[in-house]
């Protein structure tokens, strides 16, 4: 292994220890004894970083763009669980269903149907989280709670996933709205989740919380946190 690899490994190990300590402190503060799964969001970072994180004991990796995730998943393989966390276009559903183990961002009946067809084509069964909109802004994605919209209403999307042959309804996902107080946003998410569990008691995954707000999310019941920059460093986008 090169000196550069050693330096990067040490940096990731230090960041990982810090993030795990934050998660443990937040669990204790919330009086929780159940597990919180760390999903390391590796977007914009190379497959080599995914391999280093796996060596350090990270079991779950998140990506948000198919064109970046597909080659990384091919390179790293099945030593980690692959989570697709980004907005997903229906024309990418077939590609994503080839490598994703969990899709966090299903927010329409039509997308659920496309993912089900893709998973069946690959003879796979995918865990699916229905993404919930906490601000009602359709541009930012998410199914709409308290809406009877046939394609985007939360109850309809959850029912479509639950009824799909190659999808397993595993729970809910949300992103705190830009500029909103995360604690209030995740308190609302917890209320939505409680109502959702009446109809879907086994769909217990709650994916919420990122680098800046994981403590708020864990306080309100997150079972999975999606952490990018606090683990890998600040992302630099080209262009
Ligand atoms: C990038 C991303 C994250 C991680 O964000 P950080 O602030 O870097 O921790 C989490 N969830 C989704 C959906 C993302 O796109």
Please say if the pLDDT value at position 239 is more than 60: no
Give percent of the chain with pLDDT exceeding 70. Answer: 98
* Domain-located, residue 239: no
Please say if the pLDDT value at position 8 is more than 50: yes
Please say if the pLDDT value at position 223 is more than 90: yes
The CATH code of the domain that includes 105 is 3.20.20.10
Ligand 1 pocket mutation, candidates 23, 38, 60, 64, criterion most atoms within 8 A of CB: 64
Q: What's the pLDDT band for 1 if we cut at 50, 70, 90? A: low
Q: What is the pLDDT, as a whole number, of residue 4?
A: 83
CA distances from 151 to 46, 60, 194 (A): 36, 30, 22
Q: What is the pLDDT, as a whole number, of residue 2?
A: 82
Q: What is the pLDDT, as a whole number, of residue 238?
A: 55
**Which residues are paired to 128 by β-bridges?**
103, 169
* Domain-located, residue 238: no
* Domain-located, residue 96: yes
Ligand 1 pocket check for 140: Cβ under 6 Å: no
Q: Total domain count for the chain?
A: 1
Q: What is the pLDDT, as a whole number, of residue 198?
A: 98
Q: What is the pLDDT, as a whole number, of residue 26?
A: 98
User: DSSP letter string over 37-70?
Assistant: EEEEE-TTS-HHHHHHHHHTT--EEEES-HHHHH
Mean pLDDT calculated for residue range 102-111: 98
Average pLDDT over the chain reads 96
Which atom of ligand 1 lies closest to the CA of 39?
10
Find the length of the chain.
Answer: 239
Shortest-distance Cα residue to atom 7 of ligand 1? 211
Ligand 1 pocket mutation, candidates 210, 212, 229, criterion most atoms within 8 A of CB: 210
Q: How many CB atoms lie within 10 A of CB 65?
A: 15
Ligand 1 pocket mutation, candidates 15, 62, 103, 178, criterion most atoms within 8 A of CB: 62
Mean pLDDT calculated for residue range 214-238: 94
Please say if the pLDDT value at position 108 is more than 90: yes
Nearest of 235, 232, 226 to residue 81 by alpha carbon: 226
Residue 125, domain extent: 3-232
53-93 pLDDT per residue, tens? 999 999 999 999 999 999 999 999 999 999 999 999 999 99
* Domain-located, residue 53: yes
Ligand 1 pocket check for 211: Cβ under 6 Å: yes
Distance, CA 227 to ligand 1 centroid (Å)? 6
- Output the pTM of the full model: 0.97
Ligand 1 pocket check for 142: Cβ under 6 Å: no
Distance, CA 225 to ligand 1 centroid (Å)? 9
Ligand 1 pocket check for 228: Cβ under 6 Å: yes
Helix intervals (H) in 77-168: 93-99, 109-121, 154-162
- Let me know: does 96 contact 119? Beta carbons within 8 Å: no
Q: What's the pLDDT band for 127 if we cut at 50, 70, 90? A: very high
* Domain-located, residue 237: no
Mean pLDDT calculated for residue range 103-110: 98
Ligand 1 pocket check for 86: Cβ under 6 Å: yes
Please say if the pLDDT value at position 165 is more than 90: yes
Q: Which two tokens stand for residue 118?
A: 């893709």
């Amino acid at each position: 292994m090169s000196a550069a690899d050693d330096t990067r490994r040490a940096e990731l190990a230090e960041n990982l220890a810090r993030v795990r300590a934050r998660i443990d402190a937040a669990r204790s503060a919330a009086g929780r004894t159940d597990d919180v799964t760390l999903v390391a969001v590796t977007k914009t970072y190379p497959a080599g970083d995914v391999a280093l994180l796996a060596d350090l004991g990270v079991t779950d990796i998140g990506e948000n763009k198919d064109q970046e995730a597909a080659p990384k998943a091919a390179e790293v393989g099945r030593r980690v669980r692959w989570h697709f966390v980004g907005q997903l276009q229906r024309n990418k559903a077939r590609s994503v269903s080839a490598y994703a183990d969990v899709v966090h961002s299903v927010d329409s009946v039509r997308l659920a149907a496309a993912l089900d067809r893709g998973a069946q084509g690959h003879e796979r069964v995918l865990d699916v989280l229905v993404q919930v909109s906490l601000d009602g802004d359709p541009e930012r994605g998410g199914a709409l709670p308290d809406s009877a919209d046939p394609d985007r209403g939360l109850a309809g999307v959850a029912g479509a996933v639950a009824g799909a042959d190659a999808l397993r309804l595993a729970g809910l996902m949300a992103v705190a709205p830009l500029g909103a107080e995360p604690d209030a946003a995740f308190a609302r998410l917890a209320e939505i989740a409680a109502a959702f569990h009446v109809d879907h008691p086994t769909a217990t995954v709650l994916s919420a919380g990122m680098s800046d707000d994981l403590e708020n999310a864990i306080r309100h019941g997150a079972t999975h946190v999606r952490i990018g920059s606090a683990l890998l460093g600040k992302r630099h986008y080209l262009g």
